[in-house]
């Protein structure tokens, strides 16, 4: 019986790890796609508090996408924000931004 409980616990922990967002994935996406326009991750992430980023990233980052899609200065990013890959990656981006928000006390190493 103990073996069964241990197996179930390990399976749940491992499974939940794969389903959750990852800060390092969001950081990589930021470096690859956002750093050119927004600069280092510290400046952008620290521009809002954690709750501000969470609100902006609700509904798979819909509000953030709308901001970019309505700005002519962000026209270089329109293709990405219209693509389905953005909605898949939005949770990782949110995790990165919330992790390094101004009230988090953390500093990213991607500058």
75-106: pLDDT as tens digits: 999 999 999 999 999 999 999 999 999 998 88
Give Cβ neighbours of residue 100 (< 8 Å, ≥ 6 apart): 41, 42, 45, 46, 106, 107, 108
* pTM metric for this prediction: 0.76
75/10: higher pLDDT: 75
**Which has the closest alpha carbon to 90: 42, 41, 25?**
25
Average per-residue pLDDT for the chain: 85
pLDDT at 51 over 90: yes
């Amino acid at each position: 019986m103990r073996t069964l409980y241990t197996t179930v616990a390990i399976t749940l922990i491992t499974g939940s790890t794969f389903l959750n967002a990852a800060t390092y994935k969001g950081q990589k996406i930021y470096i690859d796609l956002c750093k050119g326009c927004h600069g280092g991750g510290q400046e952008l992430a620290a521009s809002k508090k954690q709750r501000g980023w969470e609100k902006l990233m609700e509904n798979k980052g819909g509000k953030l996408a709308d901001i970019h899609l309505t700005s002519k200065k962000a026209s270089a990013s329109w293709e990405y924000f219209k693509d389905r890959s953005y909605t898949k990656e939005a949770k990782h981006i949110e995790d990165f931004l919330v992790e390094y928000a101004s009230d988090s006390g953390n500093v990213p190493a991607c500058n």
